[in-house]
Amino acid sequence: HVQLVESGGGSVQAGGSLRLSCAPSGSPYSNYCMGWFRQAPGKEREGVAAIDSDGSTSYTDSVKGRFTISKDNAKNTLYLQMNSLKPEDTAMYYCAAAAWPIATMILSHFGYWGQGTQVTVS
């Protein structure tokens, strides 16, 4: 069983940066696909970035070149570095884990979710 706790959200001005962290506990997450999702008010939850056990990554088009997903297996921590933030990036951001062999951002693949951390860009 994997438990996920996100941190690092906050309020920034457009063009600024934030780094989100996710600390899984329980089962080793190194064998899972890990992902970041976001949900803005009135909108569906969408995939932002994912990384598989081999370190291969996938990004949604709107964040390519601005966001970077990474993980530190020694610290058992997942990160999302967000640069050049835009107001449309404002959302609740969720960390999630999937028992899936490749980087995926299909919602139904993810069985474990954190509580979310708010990112507001003005």
**Do 33 and 109 form a contact (C-beta atoms < 8 A)?**
yes
Q: Which residues pair with 76 in a beta bridge?
A: none
**Do 5 and 116 form a contact (C-beta atoms < 8 A)?**
no
Percent of the chain at pLDDT > 90 equals 79
Structure tokens at 26: 């329980």
**Averaged confidence pLDDT in the chain:** 93
Model pLDDT for residues 42-72, shown as the tens digit of each residue: 999 999 999 998 999 999 999 999 999 999 8
On the question of pLDDT at 103 being above 80, the answer is yes
pLDDT band for position 28 (cuts 50, 70, 90): low
